[in-house]
């Protein structure tokens, strides 16, 4: 009688490694995403004028929704769920549109438009199998590349002390010291460490940075004391309102976010699993993200999306065990049900988060490049990538350049380079004639041959005209 050996590999999707190996890597996924999860509800609470209690509610349900959404995508239900080592949660990509909608229609207008936006994403997910050819690696890679590049300023702001450049003490040398020490700790663990230490480089850096920041007075525990131990989310705490302008804006950003999801899932499969993204995984990811976005609106959680920084962690560590990421999801669920647990994680100073995540953002950029070179770098493809980058990053750097555009256009593309890159790459891929490197080489050879024939023909006529007078004299 043979006993089946248990799969304990960190590098297999179905592996179940020991808890002591899985826990540190799971925690670094939590720490990498927690700031990104709680920041959007904090921003939107300020825009819509929420009370302190409503603000805490928005943060709590955002954390809870992120955990549930991650678990849902890891295991899937019927055709819904990516079933990939990916982290999902309330994301930054929607923030510019949410600010525009919330400032005019309040949280009620956001949630109503979000419900329709989520349904739209499910429609996109259903039909993606028929239009997937419109999103080749050159398009998905461009989106992932811009995601990585657009995150750098966030990491630098965090290292300087805050996500807001106008915050008190922003840019202080003390902040930079903590951020750089954290970064060096991450680099040391990832490059010189072994085993779990190397794979848990980010959490090692965070622990070192936290230990340095603590005696410097950078850690504030006031929110921990005030937070409750347990809080159950309420069904529809806000009434929904449906406004056509808000719905159109949200539908557009949800469709654009679907392109980002394609990019992130492609990056996860390529960088983490060394293979192309399967159609079933792509369809399930988009259907699942649409469903969780729509259902989240019923509990006042903001729209969900893939988390690019966690894609970077998967690319860096190659740890793709579903068990490891499921622990991450469970942590987020516990944090969502226990505001006190969530508050503890929010005590991590910004410089520590910035120093720990900047290498992750660099990995996202390199993953985008890996996707791009899966297609030929023909003149056509280079044009698609170059122009998409130029427009996306250029408009992001000079937002005043589009002030004369219609308000709806500004709401969609303003401050969101991912949107501009996705639209540009998608349209150029459809419009530009398809020419491979071989086609370009044949075209050059034909031009060279035509030039040679013209030169040969012209030379022959010139000789005849020179010889004609001599023939007459003889």
Q: What is the 3-state secondary structure (H, E, C) of 219-272?
A: CCCHHHHHCCCCCCCCCCCCCCCCCHHHHHHHHHHHHHHHHHHHHHHHHHHHHH
Closest CA to 141 of 27, 259, 5: 259
For residue 283, tell me if it sits in a domain: yes
For residue 14, tell me if it sits in a domain: no
175 vs 245, higher pLDDT: 175
- Tokens 């939107």 belong to 44
Q: Is the pLDDT of residue 474 over 50?
A: no
Spatial distance between the Cα atoms of 180 and 159, rounded to a whole number of angstroms:
8
For residue 464, tell me if it sits in a domain: no
Closest CA to 118 of 270, 305, 269: 305
Structure tokens that stand for 29 in this block:
């996924």
Closest CA to 371 of 139, 149, 141: 141
Q: Is the pLDDT of residue 216 over 50?
A: yes
Average pLDDT over residues 409-421: 73
Q: Per the structure, how many domains does the chain have?
A: 1
> What is the predicted pLDDT for the residue at 3?
54
The model's pLDDT over 330-388, given as tens digits with 9 standing for 90+, comes to 999 988 898 887 677 678 888 988 888 788 778 778 878 888 888 888 889 999 999 99
Which element (helix H / strand E) includes 35? helix 19-48
> What is the predicted pLDDT for the residue at 473?
47
284 vs 456, higher pLDDT: 284
Q: How far is CA 436 from CA 133, 340, 429, 443, 447, in A?
A: 16, 57, 13, 11, 17
> What is the predicted pLDDT for the residue at 414?
62
* pTM for the predicted model, two decimal places: 0.72
How does residue 459 score in pLDDT terms, banded at 50, 70 and 90? Answer: low
How does residue 47 score in pLDDT terms, banded at 50, 70 and 90? Answer: confident
The model's pLDDT over 309-342, given as tens digits with 9 standing for 90+, comes to 788 888 888 899 999 999 999 999 988 898 887 6
- Tokens 């996202």 belong to 364
Q: Is the pLDDT of residue 405 over 80?
A: yes
> What is the predicted pLDDT for the residue at 466?
47
Structure tokens that stand for 82 in this block:
């990516």
Cα torsion through 440, 442, 448, 449, rounded to 10: -160
3-state per-residue secondary structure call for 165-231:
CCCCCCCCHHHHHHHHHHHHHHHHHHHHCCCHHHHCHHHHHHHHHHHHHHHHCCCCCHHHHHCCCCC
Spatial distance between the Cα atoms of 129 and 143, rounded to a whole number of angstroms:
19
For residue 394, tell me if it sits in a domain: yes
Q: Which domain holds residue 200?
A: 19-439
Per the prediction, the chain carries an average pLDDT of 84
- Tokens 């560590």 belong to 317
For residue 4, tell me if it sits in a domain: no
For residue 30, tell me if it sits in a domain: yes
Q: Are the CB atoms for 279 and 79 separated by under 8 Å?
A: no
């Amino acid at each position: 009688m043979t006993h089946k050996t248990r799969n304990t590999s960190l590098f297999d999707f179905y592996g179940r490694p020991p808890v002591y190996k899985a826990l540190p890597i799971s925690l670094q996924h939590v720490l990498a995403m927690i700031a990104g999860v709680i920041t959007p509800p904090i921003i939107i609470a300020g825009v819509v004028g929420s009370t302190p209690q409503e603000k805490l509610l928005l943060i709590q349900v955002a954390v809870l929704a992120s955990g549930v959404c991650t678990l849902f995508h890891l295991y899937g239900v019927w055709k819904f769920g990516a079933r990939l080592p990916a982290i999902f949660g309330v994301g930054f990509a929607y923030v510019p549109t949410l600010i525009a909608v919330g400032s005019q229609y309040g949280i009620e207008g956001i949630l109503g438009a979000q419900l329709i936006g989520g349904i739209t994403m499910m429609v996109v997910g259903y039909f993606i199998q028929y239009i997937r050819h419109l999103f080749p690696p050159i398009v998905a890679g461009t989106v992932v590349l811009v995601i990585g590049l657009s995150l750098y300023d966030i990491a630098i702001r965090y290292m300087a002390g805050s996500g807001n450049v106008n915050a008190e003490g922003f840019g202080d040398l003390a902040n930079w010291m903590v951020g750089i020490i954290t970064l060096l700790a991450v680099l040391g663990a990832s490059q010189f460490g072994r085993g779990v230490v190397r794979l848990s480089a980010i959490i090692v850096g965070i622990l070192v940075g936290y230990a340095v920041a603590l005696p410097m007075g950078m850690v504030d525990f006031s929110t921990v004391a005030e937070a409750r131990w347990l809080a159950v989310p309420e069904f529809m705490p806000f009434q929904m309102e449906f406004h056509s302008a808000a719905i159109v804006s949200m539908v557009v950003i949800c469709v654009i976010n679907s392109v980002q999801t394609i990019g992130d899932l492609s990056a996860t499969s390529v960088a983490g699993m060394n293979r192309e993204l399967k159609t079933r995984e792509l369809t399930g990811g988009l259907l699942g993200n649409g469903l969780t976005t729509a259902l989240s609106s019923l509990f006042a959680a903001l729209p969900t999306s893939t988390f690019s920084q966690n894609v970077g962690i998967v690319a860096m560590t190659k740890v793709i065990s579903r068990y490891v990421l499921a622990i991450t999801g469970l942590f987020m669920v516990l944090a969502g049900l226990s505001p006190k647990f969530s508050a503890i994680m929010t005590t991590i100073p910004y410089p520590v988060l910035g120093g720990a995540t900047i290498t992750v953002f660099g990995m996202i950029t390199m993953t985008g490049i890996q996707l791009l070179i899966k297609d030929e770098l023909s003149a056509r493809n280079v044009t698609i990538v170059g122009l998409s980058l130029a427009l996306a990053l250029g408009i992001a750097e000079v937002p005043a350049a589009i002030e004369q555009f219609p308000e709806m256009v500004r709401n969609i593309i303003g401050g969101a380079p991912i949107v501009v890159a996705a639209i540009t790459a998608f349209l150029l891929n459809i419009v530009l004639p398809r020419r491979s490197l071989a086609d370009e080489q044949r075209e050059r050879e034909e031009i060279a041959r035509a030039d040679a024939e013209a030169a040969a023909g012209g030379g022959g006529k010139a000789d005849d005209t020179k010889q004609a007078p001599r023939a007459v004299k003889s």
